A and B are shown apart, each in its own frame.
Chain A
Amino acid sequence: MAILSAAGLRLGYDERVVAEDLSFDVPDGELTVIIGPNACGKSTLLKALARTLKPQAGTVTLDGRPLSSYRSKDVAKRVGMLPQSPIAPESITVRDLVGRGRFPHQGVFRQWSHADEQAVEAALVATGVAELADRHVSELSGGQRQRAWIAMALAQETELLLLDEPTTFLDIAHQYEVLELCARLHREGRTLVAVLHDLNQAARYATHLVVMKAGVIVASGTPGEVLTAPLVEDVFGLPCEIIDDPQTHTPMVVPLAAPTAQAR
């Protein structure tokens, strides 16, 4: 039985239904990556797991109990979520931003315990932004800023961490920097679920790959099992060849050249 699990979800925004009767167990201890074309419902599923979107039907359970039966802060101590575009408050320092991740552990009178202090320092060090701690978030580069946000999510000290497209808007080197960070957090024992766009990055870093299309999970398993040329063509409409990634020996998607290009 997975710690975090969704059963029979109907998800959507007002009238528009994105997914119907969707079930998904978050595999414990894995780095799960969800891929799929735009509007397939992958981010929506993540939001439902993080209870930032209320399912129209079905339930998300934590340790077998519905999320709605928990106190809001108690869920936040166990499941963390970094949305796609969080807003950094004006004139906030990296340390203060990371400190806000401690909210579920704090109270009206206990706003900054020694445990808070330690969690924030550890998160700053783990994400490599300790030297930037007293800088303003607005002064940081895209990659540094994303690491600061991940540090905030880490300071929350949750066993599960959900990341919605953590590499979007980053240039290529910073994308790998963030992915390496995710891989390290996974090795250190956390359960992660990330939505990614790049299939090769997904194949390289996922220990468990989930493929979605039109609100349905069409395949899941290790990247080697899941990522086949027919599947990529079917789900993404992209004719391709799958080769061996020379670095990691994970599958690598190489799109077929268009006929005109082949002729040249």
Chain B
Amino acid sequence: MSAPSSRCTGSGQFLRQGPVSPRPVLRMGTWLSLPVRRRSVVVGAILALGLLVLTLLTLTLGTLGVPLAELPRAIVDPAPGRTEFVLNVLRGPRLITAIATGAALGVAGALFQTVTRNPLGSPDVIGLGAGASAGAACFGLLIPGLIPVPAGALVGALAAMGLVWLGTGRGFSSPGRMILVGIGVSAMAVAFVQFVLTRAGQQEATTLATYISGTFADRQWSDVAISGLTVAVLVPCALLLSRRLDLVEMGDELADSLGGRTTLTRSLVVLVAIGLATGAVSATGPIAFVALTAPQVARRLAKAPGAGILLSGLMGAVIMTAADLLVQQSPFGVQLPVGLLTALVGGVYLGYLLVREWKKGTV
């Protein structure tokens, strides 16, 4: 009788000490069990720390900065005056909007890239940003005063996505077609913006140009509310979808046979991604390339399969706050559109990605 029991312990030891090491799992009773990837946790912690540092720098740097020693008291109990003005009006809303839109764009990009199985998939590519610009141009300059410009951007983004939905003939279930139709919709929207700009006065044109490059200057608490709410509602939705999305990554047939319901999953994921990007756009105007780069960088750091929703969101927030910090401290002044900076850096990165893909032979 002793032989079987000793064999049992033997195999148990094999599982613990052998080359086959089971992964760490977070467990609570039988209802909760989540696998944990050490590397992802470490990367997440580093990014969170980075975001904290950027936050402190944003609030404390420069002549108007709140000294670090005064910061805790100023946040808990803002006495009226200069400090309160800096926190509540000048830098606070701007900072939180940057974090929220960065996170929203990062997650939107992660969703798009996974669902299209294409590292270049992003809301920019399917014409969302261009549509928002066209909306802003239309309601800012062509028929001003009807609705506020951010609402105009929202309308434009939704209209562009409506065109893409109609243009594919299969709604949002075919990513390849979405990219093709999106490029067309983008071109139309850009042409429309150019048309409006040619008819506008110089002052108006400059204002519009700043908005459609994406900016954090003069953000209000209403922008914080839009972007914050977007993130609070849609990022959990993205997390709920992420395991089905992981299956879609392995091909439609396999995903379907595993119970992943590919077509439904894909449409929902695209909807959530569009919602996130649209929320970000209506708070700040279209900010280029964050949705494209954040998930790519996060993926390379984590070296994990799957969409990497949380890390992409954190990465997006880090990129955005870093870019805005540079803008605020730059010699060109706080009115420089942050979108110009992200487009510059993102453009270089896009080039690198294209070359890499080209070398791998996938483009």
Interface set of A (CB-CB < 8 Å, partner B)? 47, 50-52, 71-77, 79-83, 85-92, 95-96, 99-101, 103-104, 106, 108-113, 116-117, 121, 124, 130-131, 133-134, 156, 162
Contacts and interface: CB of A to CB of B under 8 A. Distances in A.
Contacts of A109: 31-34
Contact of A80 (B20, B257, B260): B257
Contacts of B261: 72
A110 B32 contact: yes
B9 interface: no
Interface in B279-295: none
A82 B252 CA distance: 11
Interface string B245-260: 0110111111011111
B4 interface: no
A52 B259 contact: no
A108 B35 CA distance: 12
B243 A89 contact: no
Contacts of A52: 252-253, 256-257
A108 B258 contact: no
Nearest to B260: A103
What 3 A-B pairs come out closest when comparing CB atoms? A76-B259, A81-B257, A92-B305
B253 A47 contact: yes
Given A101-B258, A103-B259, A133-B20, A112 B253 contact: no
Contact of B306 (A79, A87, A89, A106): A89
B240 interface: yes
Which of A77, A85, A110 lies at the interface centre, i.e. has the most chain B CB atoms within 10 A of its CB?
A110
Interface stretch (B22-30, B80-88, B315-323, B330-338): B22-30
18 contacts: A51-B257, A80-B257, A83-B254, A86-B254, A87-B117, A89-B250, A89-B305, A91-B304, A99-B35, A100-B246, A103-B243, A103-B260, A108-B243, A109-B31, A110-B32, A111-B34, A113-B30, A134-B20
A95 B21 CA distance: 10
B251 A83 contact: yes
A83 B260 CA distance: 15
B311 to A, nearest CB: 13
A121 B15 contact: yes
Given A108-B240, A111-B34, A124-B20, A86 B250 contact: yes
A49 B35 CA distance: 32
B250 A87 contact: yes
Contacts of A112: 23, 25, 33-35
Given A87-B251, A95-B23, A76 B305 contact: no
B52 to A, nearest CB: 28
Nearest to A47: B253
B303 interface: yes
Nearest to A110: B33
Given A100-B246, A109-B32, A134-B21, 20 more contacts: A50-B257, A52-B257, A72-B260, A82-B254, A83-B257, A85-B251, A86-B253, A87-B249, A89-B305, A89-B306, A90-B299, A90-B305, A91-B305, A103-B260, A104-B259, A111-B35, A116-B33, A117-B25, A134-B20, A162-B257
Contacts of A103: 243, 247, 258-260
Contact of B258 (A71, A88, A91, A156): A156
Nearest to B21: A134
Contacts of B22: 117, 121
Contact of A104 (B30, B246, B254, B258): B258
Contacts of B23: 95, 112
A121 B34 CA distance: 17
Interface in B4-19: 15, 19
A75 B329 CA distance: 58
A89 B19 CA distance: 23
Nearest to B24: A112
Interface string B291-313: 00000000100011110000000
B27 to A, nearest CB: 8
B32 A100 contact: no
Contacts of B247: 100, 103
Contacts of B256: 50-52
Nearest to A114: B33
A52 B259 CA distance: 10
Contacts of B299: 90
A88 B258 CA distance: 15
Contacts of B240: 108
B243 A75 contact: no
A77 B34 CA distance: 21
A79 to B, nearest CB: 7
B96 to A, nearest CB: 29
Given A92-B305, A113-B30, A86 B259 contact: no
Given A76-B258, A89-B246, A133-B20, A113 B303 contact: no
B258 A100 contact: yes
A23 to B, nearest CB: 21
B251 A131 contact: no
B20 A100 contact: no
Which of A47, A104, A112 lies at the interface centre, i.e. has the most chain B CB atoms within 10 A of its CB?
A112
Contacts of B305: 89-92, 96
A75 B34 contact: no
Contact of A73 (B15, B32, B246, B259): B259
A29 to B, nearest CB: 21
B76 to A, nearest CB: 35
B253 A72 contact: no
Contacts of B303: 91
Contacts of A130: 20
Contacts of A133: 19-20
